[in-house]
Structure 1
Amino acid sequence: MPVRLSPPTHPPAHGTLGLFLREHYQLGPQWVGYLFTLNCLMVVGLQLPIAHRVGHWGLTRSSHAGVVCVGAAFLVLNLGHGAPWALASMAVLTAGEMLMSPTWAAILMLRSEGRQRGQYMGIYNAAWSGQMLFAPALGTWAYGQFDGPLLWWLCAGAAGLALMLHGLVLPRMLVRE
């Protein structure tokens, strides 16, 4: 007779969002998949139109809007409870990332010298990829120390700090010499 394993009582979560969805929203692990599917569908459907709009809005305004969206996405998680709030948070987060990604790449291209451009882009991509490596470990540690709602407030505060720094640095970076 084959041995049948029962599923774990608490399925493994994928980073802090999965933990939060399970512990605070009482949503099952399938919601991590639903949210990442929403993320992917938005990127496939909206990345090109948003990148086109960045050209009209300007790099500074687009970067600021992206940072505001990312910070707001964390706050949305604290504003309500349940699947609609999780979906809204992921939609706002994805919009912010779609605004920031092409904007920051364009800023880097404008600021780097021709022969060094590839090296700068490599460092930028390594840093962007590195956050995928370190963020889950740092996030789950902070989640364990502070709990989900406080962590999201801290993340929103970090976005506010980033917005303030952008306000100081970006105008000077984008001045043509």
Structure 2
Amino acid sequence: MRRFPPMRTKRNPATFERFSAMTQARFGGLPGPFWILWSGTLINRLGTMVIPFLSFYLSRERGLAATEVGAVLAVLGIGGVLSQPIGGLITDRWGRRVALSGGMLATGALMLALGYTESTAVIVVVVFLLGVALDLFRPASQAIVADLFPPEGRPRAFGMLLWAVNLGFALSMALGGALARDGFLTLFWIDALSCAVFGLLVWRGVPEGPARQTRVGQGRATDALRDQVMVIFVLLTLLCAFVFMQALTTLPLAMERHGLPTSSYGLVMALNGLTIVVLQPLMGHRLGHVDRTHGLVLGMVLMGVGNAATAWVSTTPGYAGAVAVWTVGEVLLTSLGSALVADLAPVDLRGRYNGLYGLAWGLGSFTAPLGGTRLLEAGAPALWYTCAALCGVAAAGQWALRGAVRRRIAAAEG
């Protein structure tokens, strides 16, 4: 039998070097502890299966009426509002690893407790505690990034975490939907195990960071609530959080009013995650060189434009186009917003600052369904134009804050 020589492909050295340089710029040069944090985040989001399907579980498995399901989810939201401020206090007082690993282990234990609880009264208590535990880890995670990276490297790092969150969540939604058909208990175990793995990875592989300082005699002048720049930024973030959370609350209702099926909403939201997965590696390494204010204002404007466009569309491609616009704004807002908090926060208060920042998102999650549904009752244009106006107010406020932000960053670098 005739033997053919192996095929040889001619490699273009210049092309290979350009590809290597591009890959290094996007994914290289990151410290080992960050990759442990990133891997744990991805694993945890791959296992995030309970919360997205909680309403189905409560109605189908526990027999709760629609109003009861809504009440339980509201209790979860109340716990979520408290979660990050508490996590920030734990981070500053007992350390990053205690807050992150402890929060993850507590979340996993409460997931299992919820999966085996049948009493409605006990379910309400467990759900509230779960809401408190869910985001205890987040201020610690953000503080770890601030510890590991200089200011110019933080937007890229925060963007990489956002990338892991969206990649993992997109896959978990598909897998969770398939597993839920055979029973929900498997979802609780997967979620709990992913939390435990994340917590143990960080405990073993991520250093504690700067020593916690005893702030005796320093007063409260540097506390997060007394930092006017930080408080104003949090209030502006709250406006954007209210708008962003409409995608998870009123957007499916608005699409339904146009006669679009549930699958259309799923496709539109899948585009949101896919856009982030594709876009983040392309722009993440450049964000460190972008002025914080300019990037945040652009992100807020894009979110406003995307929401305004939503008032004019009625088809799946139309909604997809509007979502694609505000998704670019989401990338800018989340990456640069977390980086700005790290710039403003003293080392020993990074947990509290991130907890206060997280409070804005928690309040946004809680108020979005309440205010958004009322606006939708007045008509879809009223909802989406109001959202666009709120983004415009946030952008104008962020622009007015630019001088104070630059002075604070210059003082920190000096």
Q: TM-score, normalised by structure 1?
A: 0.83
**What's 1:149 paired with?**
381
Q: Is the 8 A contact 2:302 2:325 kept in 1?
A: yes
Q: Which consecutive unaligned segments of at least 5 residues does structure 1 have? A: 1-13
CA drift at 1:92: 1.0
User: Who wins on radius of gyration, i.e. which is larger?
Assistant: 2
SS in 1 for 2:311: helix
User: What CA deviation, in whole Å up to 9, does each residue of 1:14-52 have, x standing for no partner?
Assistant: 6211111121x3211212211111111122222233332
Q: TM-score, normalised by structure 2?
A: 0.37
User: What CA deviation, in whole Å up to 9, does each residue of 1:38-73 have, x standing for no partner?
Assistant: 111122222233332222332111101100110001
CA drift at 1:136: 2.1
**What's 1:18 paired with?**
252
Matched, 1:164 2:396: yes
Question: What letter is aligned with 2:290?
Answer: W
CA drift at 1:165: 0.6
- CA–CA distance in structure 1, aligned partners of residues 254 and 326 of structure 2: 16
Matched, 1:71 2:304: yes
Matched, 1:100 2:338: no
Residue number among 260, 267, 285 corresponding to 1:34 in the alignment: 267
Q: Is the 8 A contact 1:78 1:152 kept in 2?
A: yes
Q: Is the 8 A contact 1:50 1:98 kept in 2?
A: no
- CA–CA distance in structure 1, aligned partners of residues 312 and 403 of structure 2: 33
- CA–CA distance in structure 2, aligned partners of residues 136 and 50 of structure 1: 32
Segment of structure 1 superposing worse, 132-141 or 27-36: 132-141
The higher relative CO (CA closer than 8 Å, separation ≥ 6) is in 1
Question: What letter is aligned with 1:92?
Answer: V
CA drift at 1:155: 1.0
Question: What letter is aligned with 2:325?
Answer: V
User: What CA deviation, in whole Å up to 9, does each residue of 1:106-128 have, x standing for no partner?
Assistant: 11111111100122112212322
- CA–CA distance in structure 2, aligned partners of residues 36 and 137 of structure 1: 21
SS in 2 for 1:79: coil
- CA–CA distance in structure 2, aligned partners of residues 36 and 60 of structure 1: 28
Aligned length: 162
**What's 1:6 paired with?**
none
**Cα–Cα, structure 1 residues 155 and 46, in superposed 2: closer, same or farther, change >3 Å?**
same
Identity of aligned residues (%): 28
**What's 1:11 paired with?**
none
